[in-house]
Structure 1
Amino acid sequence: MAGDTYPGAATPIGRTAWLLLATRLVRSVWQGALVVDFALYLHALRWSAVAISAVLAAALLVGAVLTMLLGPLSDRFGRRRFLLVYDAAQGLAAAVAFLTAAPWPLAAAAVVGGFGRGGNGSAGPFAPVEQAWLAQCVPAARRGMIYSLNAALGFVGMAAGAVLAGLPSWTGGAAPEAAAYRPLFALTAILSVVTFALVAAAHDSESAPRPPAPGSAPGSGPVSTDDDAAERRRENGLVGRLVLANLLNGAGLGLSGPLVTYWFALRFHHGPSAIGLMMAVGFLLAGAASLLTGWLGRWLGIVRAVVAMRTLGLLLLVALPFAKTFAVAGVLYVARTVLNRGTTGARSALNVSIVRPSRRGFSSAASNVALQIPRAIGPVLAGLMYESGFLALPFLAAAVFQTGYLWVYDRTFRNVTLR
């Protein structure tokens, strides 16, 4: 089928793939808790909207720089060592945030830990490494479904974490003091130790360093024949158009995503318990939608499934800021979460399936960098709009960028054969 053609047999996946899936599930629990509570925690510490958005933006920018370096490097030096560094850094950052609320150490920990960015259990700037590692463990014929399962497990963990985000309200009432949020960082540190152990137990079959061939760039694969050069040019063209699509996607996500819990608090004056429960429902349903997308991808093709779901999500994005009550806004947000996040696994599968195996880290890194740079700028602009009283404008601007993303994504990849 156009846009969803895979070579290879549907062979079973091995122990390493299951360990990576388990890592995703565990990591997503603390991410789900902090995506709800981190901005609310800073708000309880009396940080301004601009200060909150600046920390989130700095974390995303640092992540983008690391992503740019790590994806191609992992193609040469293997995957596991990079993920071990990531989980160790997460545990250290969480310990710092648990021990102090002083602005500068907390901001530094947030940048290192990527607190509040969500991620659905992915390894932050190390996500291209993780995606490429999973790809080498899963045959192409099963990749769309396994990546959808991977995303679904992340959403289940995010839902559990979002429920745990109600902890400050359970102990501190509807408007909890800042100290009530800090046990969540202890949870993050503990879970980071668990994910470190899971990654350490996984086998990396491409762990031996591989020097680049003469005349090739990191992640670009060997240059040996005219056929290789022509194939590389074709792949570079696809990756370039994926970068363009994700620049537009990242701009929309940055304007509408990182400060959404802050927006709910400003607009409807609800605390972490109500907001967390709403987001938990959205994450759970998004997990189911991710599995559905895996099935739809085999029937319609990955690209058609993604475009159909994201188009419906776009309509809900436009409606969200005009909701009159928390209940209506919550329903719109949950439905949009299901439609947008439910495509995560399918989109990740496409990112690593438009190039040869030797360039998967490169392709995934380019895709993620393109997504993260505008996503880092978006929260700052949204924070300025919120402080100026324009609570609907970030969502409407995001809708414009999302429209452009869908147009480019559909035109580029609808008829591409995936590897």
Structure 2
Amino acid sequence: MLAPLVTDPSSLRHGHEPLFLKTPASLDHTLTMPASAEPNSGSTPTTASDNDDTAWSRDVWLLLAARFVRMSAFGSSSLVLALFLSALGQTPVQVGRFLTLTLIGDFLLSLLLTFVADSVLGRRNTLRLGALSMLLSGLVFATTTNVDYLLPAAIFGVISPSGGEIGPFRAVEQSILATLVDKQHRPALFGWYVVTGAYAASLATGLGGLLNRFVQGGSKESSMVYYRGVFVWYALMGLIKLLLSLSLSQRCEAATFRNAPSPSASSQSQTEASERDPLLPGSNTSATTEHEEQGFSHARFTLLCSLFAIDSLGSGMASQTLTSWFLSRKFNAELASLGGILSLALLVSATSNLFSARLANRLGLVPTMVFTHLPANIFLAMTPLPSSLGLTSAMIVARAATSSMDQAPRSAFLSAFVPDHQRTRVLGLVNTVQTLAQSAGPSLTGWFADMGSMGWAFHMAGLLKIGYDLGLLAAFSAVN
């Protein structure tokens, strides 16, 4: 006879600290507590349940470690990518076109892999293919300076031109995490997911700039040696991520993929299903799915994707790579200084994300997304105005203070309305829409740079992102 599954909400009452305000360690401890330890639970813990909880905590930590490794690679490469292409003799327009084509390739790869992740490949295999693409792309960039080879490697592989997330990773990982935790716990977990990536990118960017200070000899040849070393590191991180992906358990797969019966077990599965159905006439899963689908129509989803596209276009025009390039062109800043500035900005951004879950609890998801994002975009629009590197750097750090505090609430907002069996595809579609819109940004910034007015790209980027904030508040402020 099947033991009943008991979910006791007592931890949210009687003065206990809300689960979504706990650290990952305490969150893991709370969620994996045996049923017998819960007051008045009346259920008996089983070995199978304990084993499942152990697998859950291990998978979560593996996913967080994979994100740390991946974002350290993205952070290190984004600092030098535009400078590397410029050192190869590429014009500003050509640099912008290269970065745009890179994002288009990432868009196609993400769209393909996320749409087959749950039904054909499996989520774990999708992450493994993405990690393998990172490894191969890094090796190509580390071993050749021929743009005819670099461009296909960037288009068909995984190279981050912005320092932010690209490829199928985020959609698949967030889909897995949303499956493994209840909705009320997602803001905190997604917050730590964002913080982990931000700290990794900050650390890699800062160490990259510091290392350049010691190895830089001032010549083009020494610069190229340094750039190649960065891409060797990128390839190594791809290999480590591949190994982490190989360690994930079966619990990470979608239910339809994980529970697909073999032909020999088909009749047995049907018999077991018929025996279980009368015992579970109204499961919590069905109720949750029905609740999560309420209020989210195709029209509203289309509107939301349109707003995300506007925001992503602005992000593409003022990415970390382009910001580094802008400071280098305007102030002739050294790479070591650029690394320190951008690393500090990422560190401030990562620290601010620690408070996003608490704000989302008090203000709501959409107000938190807007009221933290809007000040950052005002600073972005003002970034080109100062005439000194110090003041411009202050603008960049001020923007970073709240620029990414919307990411965890945004992930929780999307996950709350999407049923589990559609979550990977829908989140993948959102990410590919964002990547496609972002891909136009570098070409526009390259065109402004070629005209001698690169600062206008940052003005326009800030205005676009401000428009996204106001549109999101007007259209979705009433959504709970």
**TM-score normalised over the length of structure 2:** 0.77
Letter in 1 for 2:128: L
Contact 2:366–2:479 (CA under 8 A) maintained in structure 1 = no
Matched, 1:198 2:244: yes
RMSD of equivalent CA atoms:
2.4
- More deviation, 98-107/64-73: 64-73
CA distance in 2, matches of 1:76, 1:59: 27
Matched, 1:255 2:317: yes
Return the offset for 1:337. Answer: 2.0
SS of residue paired to 2:454 = coil
| Structure whose alpha-carbon radius of gyration is higher | 2
- More deviation, 67-76/257-266: 67-76
Matched, 1:36 2:79: yes
Return the offset for 1:202. Answer: 1.1
Letter in 2 for 1:344: Q
Show structure 1 runs of 5+ residues with no match: 1-5, 212-226
Structure 1 residues 52 and 123: alpha-carbon distance in aligned structure 2, compared to 1, 3 A threshold: closer
* Structure 1 counterpart of 2:401: 338
CA distance in 2, matches of 1:256, 1:163: 19
* Structure 1 counterpart of 2:429: 366
Matched, 1:375 2:438: yes
CA distance in 2, matches of 1:131, 1:377: 26
Letter in 1 for 2:82: A
Deviations 1:344-390 (A, max 9, x none): 22222222222211221122122212211121011101101111111
Matched, 1:135 2:178: yes
* Structure 1 counterpart of 2:31: 11
SS of residue paired to 2:416 = coil
CA distance in 1, matches of 2:98, 2:425: 27
Structure 1 residues 174 and 279: alpha-carbon distance in aligned structure 2, compared to 1, 3 A threshold: farther
Return the offset for 1:392. Answer: 1.9
Matched, 1:67 2:110: yes
Contact 1:83–1:123 (CA under 8 A) maintained in structure 2 = no
SS of residue paired to 2:161 = coil
Matched, 1:391 2:454: yes
Letter in 1 for 2:462: A
Return the offset for 1:410. Answer: 1.6
Return the offset for 1:65. Answer: 2.1
Matched, 1:84 2:138: no
* Structure 1 counterpart of 2:147: 103
* Structure 2 counterpart of 1:160: 203
CA distance in 2, matches of 1:415, 1:272: 46
Residue identity over aligned pairs, in percent, reads 23
Return the offset for 1:397. Answer: 1.4
* Structure 2 counterpart of 1:118: 163
CA distance in 2, matches of 1:186, 1:354: 41
Matched, 1:412 2:457: no
CA distance in 2, matches of 1:405, 1:65: 24
Deviations 1:107-154 (A, max 9, x none): 2223312233212xx462342122212211222111011111011010
* Structure 2 counterpart of 1:238: 300
CA distance in 2, matches of 1:27, 1:400: 30
**TM-score normalised over the length of structure 1:** 0.87
CA distance in 2, matches of 1:131, 1:231: 18
CA distance in 2, matches of 1:416, 1:17: 29
Moved over 3 A (4+): 173-176, 207-211, 230-235
Contact 1:318–1:399 (CA under 8 A) maintained in structure 2 = yes
CA distance in 1, matches of 2:444, 2:451: 11
CA distance in 1, matches of 2:471, 2:218: 44
Deviations 1:38-84 (A, max 9, x none): 11111222221111111111111122223233333223243110000
Equivalent residues, number: 393
Deviations 1:222-265 (A, max 9, x none): xxxxx98x958944233212211111111211222241111111
CA distance in 2, matches of 1:106, 1:169: 26
CA distance in 2, matches of 1:245, 1:123: 19
Structure 1 residues 412 and 11: alpha-carbon distance in aligned structure 2, compared to 1, 3 A threshold: farther
State which of 25, 28, 53 in structure 1 corresponds to 2:96. Answer: 53
Contact 1:293–1:342 (CA under 8 A) maintained in structure 2 = yes
Contact 1:86–1:123 (CA under 8 A) maintained in structure 2 = no
State which of 396, 400, 406 in structure 1 corresponds to 2:463. Answer: 400
CA distance in 2, matches of 1:304, 1:173: 49
- More deviation, 303-312/103-112: 103-112
- More deviation, 311-320/64-73: 64-73
CA distance in 2, matches of 1:105, 1:306: 40
Return the offset for 1:29. Answer: 1.1
CA distance in 1, matches of 2:166, 2:315: 18
Letter in 2 for 1:157: A
Contact 1:239–1:363 (CA under 8 A) maintained in structure 2 = no
